[in-house]
Structure 1
Amino acid sequence: MTDQAITINPATGNELARYGRIGEAEARQAVELCHQAFDTWRHTTVEHRASVLRSIGAALRERKEELAELMSREVGKLIADSRDEVELCAAICDYTAEIGPEELASEQRDPANAARGIITYAPIGVIYGIQPWNFPAYQVVRYAIANLMTGNGVLLKHAENCTGSGLKLREIFEDAGLPENLFTVLVIDHEVSDSIIAHDKVRGITLTGSDKAGSIIAEQAGKLNKKTVLELGSNDAYIVLEDADVDLAAKTCATGRLYNNGETCINAKRFIVTDAVHDEFMEKFVAAMEEAKPGDPFDEATGIGPMAREDLRETLQEQVDESVEKGARIVTGCAIPDGRGWFYPPSILADVEPGQPAYDDELFGPVASVIRAKNDEDAMRLANDSRYGLGGGIFSQDEDRAIKLAEQHFDTGMVFVNTFGVADPSMPFGGVKASGYGREHGGCGVKEFANTKSIFVG
């Protein structure tokens, strides 16, 4: 493995920058410095922490264009999506600053074995985040801001292809008033990362990535009795019921599949359509997907940018080819185009069945898997027929019935009814089954790595 992290523009294939990796000794020293910063930060008031987070949110908005352009260059995001991502990060800062003091406030109880009881939420130490490339700012802000509110220190190992974005966030955080070393970016390889997980000053690990990566990290941390929060992959099912507004469903499903170039854990991926509306939906869905034209991420008219890395595009094509070999039918796209950059067209596979990657696995790119269901009950069964459980969607004009299905039958952490969404600071984010465990946002994240401490007073 090279001693440098290299970033490449996926729209052109041209190298952007090189960043020197640090070795184990230097990385371990960085952990010690982060712990020292934590030892001071933990004793600040929650009100002070909230004020710093508000300053970070303001700084993100002030430097939105700078950060958005860097993200689009590094991972191929549409520039409008990059700007939206920075706004979401700023909103997370604002929301966490608003609700953090109340969420972390001590609670009074009346225990049977003492005169009174107090529950406090104390920071536990340095939290190590291993994050992917598809949302270079949001994936970091999601866990970092919550833990800074709690009073913890934060380490980041970002994906190599968005190293610049990780370092830019550190710069913005510190320029906004965050103490030096409290948020530390480690440009390291996987071997050094393993040693960071084992470092005695690291008290928790959070990972966003594949279910395979999650299993590895969970095993390493489990052997050391360290808590983990895992936000892993998914193949979210969006079901179109017999009474659905088909126009709305087709348009929303195309948006849900292509958002962020199709490279999002909570993208709509499997489209389970009841027989009664299948043909109408397919006609309109194909038109909506084909309307999005690949192109320069900085061109406002572009409908979809390139995939983030060449190897990811190759893996996607292999999954498509295997699915076709096993009976899936190509409706549109599904082939790597000629030309520069790692583009892949909006694509649809039909006749998708168990045993095909398009049914069983996560296709992390702009390929939709359409599955025909006999009726509404069969659609719900097919939606849950997955090892994953992050999100999903229901299209029905009977909103109350759809909500009941979401509450009682959808085996996922999030469900969208007649809409598609990615994340909201006020709503918990996370999944079940192979999609991981733990929750971020909605006030949950500030307590994931807090010591819930019981104090009994005689």
Structure 2
Amino acid sequence: MFRSVNPATGEEIATYSELDADALEAKLATAASAYRHWRATSLEERTALLARIGDAYEANRERLARMATLEMGKTFDSALAEIDKCTAAFRLYAKDGPAMLAPRRQALGGGGTAELHWLPIGPVLAIMPWNFPFWQAVRFISPAIMAGNVGLLKHASIVQGVATLLEEMVTEAGAPEGLFQNLAVKSSRVAEIIADDRIAAVTLTGSEGAGASVAEAAGRALKKLVLELGGSDPFIVMPSADLDEAARQAVKARVQNSGQSCICAKRMIVHAEIYDAFMDRFTAGMKAVRAGDPFDKGSDMGPLSSFEQRDTVLQQLKQAKSLGATLLVGGETLDGPGAYLSAGILTDVPLDSPLKHEEIFGPIAMVFRAGDIDEAIRIANDIPFGLGSSVWTNDPTEQQRFVREVEAGMTAVNQMLASAPEAPFGGIKRSGYGRELGPFGMHEFMNLKSVLHVAGAPLGQLTNALD
């Protein structure tokens, strides 16, 4: 049994039953059957369905956003923005998907040509977290449908209402039975699902522990795997930056989604020359952040996703202070019901602190002083993670160095890092491997088939033959 609880009030919203063995088997069989049909559909059929799903998201925008806010506490405005991004993803693949799948011709040195074709591989299992409950799933669903694959979602236990709506939107858009299904199962059953021969590949967004467990199961089954395991992203500010804008964006980058985003800026690394000036602005901005009712437009952030998550962050703060860090502002619980925590700043964090090996998944920023660009890059890279980064400088030479030398899958220059349907998303080091979104995300779960021939039949003829 899964319980959906409103973290703003602590009240139960609904309960959901877990799939028993027979129900799970039925869903796997349905997925396999759906794949045999869907892989043979035309690109026109796939794009038409994606467009209809995008329309369904737009038509149900407020209902979907409300469920996200109720189940995990994000502000209603940010939930609406999340649904809008989902709509954009479906429409992107509906518009540009065929071009992403167009065969490519490669000349061979010994004569003749190779034609490269992207073909589907089968049912893909997605194991997704609660922090962006619609978007995390949609950035997997939309390219999977375009690719000719089918999807199975094992969503986080606390957002089963969202999981139900995710399946409903695809079904209501006219998808064939089994094209996308929610699997209401606990994490303990994931390994057996991965081992099933009907599962072709796996994608996971979650913790390092979850990633290691799923990677072990996928490795034993020799299944393709994409992992996005979070990080502790640096936000580097240099003397040539616009300090007002950098500080304003630093606040937003740290407290968005109540600090519960894999690509939140978690470590502010500030050049010593402008450290005090930046801190004056940043501290004032963090103090002004209002945590409150997520349906109240005056709230900058809602509660954390659960009381358990809030307690985890409080324990990290306690440990940091015991090791010499200073809690400059915030980091306090709020009176009344709800898993609320005020926006906070940690300074004087020892560079050998255990926190550099952890991700603070809450609205707490760590601030570090760097004497020069070399030290800033050294601090940025001296962690096991490598997901995103944001660098603030108007010096072109510094920009080039940060792009080359900051160890991350993504770098934003003079802006807050954010995901977009068009751009590859993913990290390096212990932040995982593989990419989501854009053509590269779709290609992760496709068979790149090389078709070799001498004379060079027209691409269209071979494409039809392969379809």
TM-score by length of 2: 0.95
What is the CA distance between 1:402 and its match in structure 2? Answer: 4.2
> Which residues of 2 match residues 280-429 of structure 1 at below 5 A?
280-398=277-395, 400-429=396-425
**Distance in 1 separating the partners of 2:393 and 2:347:** 22
Residues 92-101 or 360-369, more deviating: 92-101
**Distance in 1 separating the partners of 2:72 and 2:119:** 37
What is the CA distance between 1:157 and its match in structure 2? Answer: 0.4
Give the corresponding residue for 2:263: 266
Asked whether 1:443 is paired with 2:439, we answer yes
Is this contact kept in 2: 1:275–1:372, CA < 8 A? Answer: yes
Which secondary structure state, in structure 2, belongs to the residue aligned with residue 202 of structure 1?
coil
Aligned partner (choices 105, 110, 113) of residue 108 of structure 1: 105
Asked whether 1:120 is paired with 2:117, we answer yes
Give the corresponding residue for 2:79: 82
Instruction: Among all aligned residue pairs of Structure 1 and Structure 2, give the percentage whose two residues are the same amino acid.
Output: 37
Give the corresponding residue for 2:227: 230
**Distance in 2 separating the partners of 1:85 and 1:204:** 26
**5+ residue gaps, structure 2:** 455-467
> Which residues of 2 match residues 166-205 of structure 1 at below 5 A?
166-205=163-202
Residues 181-190 or 335-344, more deviating: 335-344
Give the corresponding residue for 2:465: none
Which secondary structure state, in structure 1, belongs to the residue aligned with residue 368 of structure 2?
strand
Give the corresponding residue for 1:456: 452
Is this contact kept in 2: 1:358–1:369, CA < 8 A? Answer: no
**Distance in 2 separating the partners of 1:178 and 1:219:** 33
Residues 238-247 or 314-323, more deviating: 238-247
Is this contact kept in 1: 2:390–2:412, CA < 8 A? Answer: yes
Is this contact kept in 2: 1:23–1:192, CA < 8 A? Answer: no
**Distance in 1 separating the partners of 2:85 and 2:398:** 28
**Distance in 2 separating the partners of 1:445 and 1:419:** 23
**Distance in 1 separating the partners of 2:295 and 2:335:** 20
Is this contact kept in 1: 2:333–2:342, CA < 8 A? Answer: yes
TM-score by length of 1: 0.97
Is this contact kept in 2: 1:307–1:343, CA < 8 A? Answer: yes
Asked whether 1:64 is paired with 2:61, we answer yes
Which secondary structure state, in structure 2, belongs to the residue aligned with residue 299 of structure 1?
coil
What is the CA distance between 1:315 and its match in structure 2? Answer: 0.7
Number of aligned residue pairs: give it: 454
**Distance in 2 separating the partners of 1:304 and 1:132:** 19
**Distance in 1 separating the partners of 2:355 and 2:251:** 16
Is this contact kept in 2: 1:28–1:196, CA < 8 A? Answer: no
Is this contact kept in 2: 1:125–1:203, CA < 8 A? Answer: yes
Once the two structures are superposed, residues 186-205 of structure 1 have per-residue CA deviations (whole angstroms, 9 ceiling, x without a partner) of 00112222211111000100
Asked whether 1:12 is paired with 2:42, we answer no
Asked whether 1:43 is paired with 2:44, we answer no
What is the CA distance between 1:110 and its match in structure 2? Answer: 2.8
